Amino acid sequence: MSYVNAALRPVFDLLLAPFAGLPPIVSLIVVSLLTAVLMLVVFKRTSNQTALAGVKRHIHAGLFEIRLFNDDLRAILRAQGEILRHNLTYLRLSLAPMVWILPPLVLVIAQLQFHYGYEGLRPAEATLLRVDLKPETVSAGIRPEAALDLPPGLIAQTREVWIPDEAELAWRLVAEREGDFEIGVRIDGAPLVTKTLRVTRRVVRLSPVRVEPGVLAQLIYPAEPPLPADSPVQAIHVDYPDREVSALGLGLHWMIPFFVLSIVFAFALRGWFKVTI
Partner 1 sequence: MRAAVLALATVVAVACGEGSDPSMPRVVILGLDGMDHELTTRLMAEGRLPGLSRLEKMGGYAPLGSSIPAQSPVAWSDFITGQDAGVHGIFDFMHRDPQTMLPYLSTSRTEAPEHVLRLGDWQFPLDGGKVELLRRGRAFWEILEEHGIPTTIVRIPANFPPSGTASRELSGMGTPDILGSYGTFSYYTTDRLAFLGKDIAGGKVYTVEEENGVIAAELVGPDHPLKTIREPLTTPFTLHVDPDRPAVKLEVGDEERVLEEGEWSDWVTVTFDLIPTQTVSTEARFYLRQVRPHLALYVSPLNLDPMAPALPISTPESWASELAAATGRYYTQGMPEDTAALAAGVFTREEFLAQAEIAGGEVLDQFPWVLSRFDRGLLFYYVGNGDLVSHMMWRPMDPDHPAYDAEKDAPFADVVPRVYEEMDGLVSYALDHLGDDTLLIVMSDHGFTSWRRTFNLNAWLHQNGYLAVKDETLPEGMELFQNVDWSGTRAYSIGMNGLYVNLKGREKDGIVPPSERGALLTEIAERLEATIDPETGSPAISRVYLRDETYTDGGQREIGPDAVIGYRKGTRGADASALGEVGKEVLTDNDKPWSGDHEMDTPAVPGILATSRPLKRPAHNLRELHASVLAEFGVEPDEAIPGRN
Cβ at position 20, least distance to partner 1 in Å = 21
Q: How far apart (Å, rounded) are the C-alpha atoms in residues 237 and 56?
A: 50
Name which of 29 and 170 has its Cβ closer to partner 1. Answer: 170
Q: How far apart (Å, rounded) are the C-alpha atoms in residues 209 and 224?
A: 8
Nearest to 1 by CA among 98, 100, 110: 110
- Give the angle 116-183-179 at the CA atoms, nearest 5°: 55
Cβ at position 130, least distance to partner 1 in Å = 8
Cβ at position 14, least distance to partner 1 in Å = 31
- Give contact residues for partner 1 (rule: CB under 8 A): 126, 128, 130, 143, 158-159, 161-166, 168, 170-172, 239
Cβ at position 128, least distance to partner 1 in Å = 5
Name which of 134 and 172 has its Cβ closer to partner 1. Answer: 172
Name residues whose C-beta falls within 8 Å of residue 94's C-beta, 6 or more positions apart in sequence.
Answer: 47, 52
Q: In this structure, are residues 157 and 174 in contact, taking their beta carbons and an 8 Å threshold?
A: yes
Name which of 251 and 271 has its Cβ closer to partner 1. Answer: 251
Name which of 174 and 190 has its Cβ closer to partner 1. Answer: 174
Cβ at position 84, least distance to partner 1 in Å = 32
Name which of 128 and 260 has its Cβ closer to partner 1. Answer: 128
State phi, psi for 152 to the nearest 5 degrees. Answer: -55, 140
Cβ at position 161, least distance to partner 1 in Å = 5
Q: How far apart (Å, rounded) are the C-alpha atoms in residues 34 and 50?
A: 25
Q: In this structure, are residues 179 and 121 in contact, taking their beta carbons and an 8 Å threshold?
A: no
Beta strands, E only, 168-274: 168-175, 179-187, 193-199, 209-211, 233-238, 245-247, 250-252
Name which of 70 and 158 has its Cβ closer to partner 1. Answer: 158
Nearest to 172 by CA among 233, 239, 121: 239
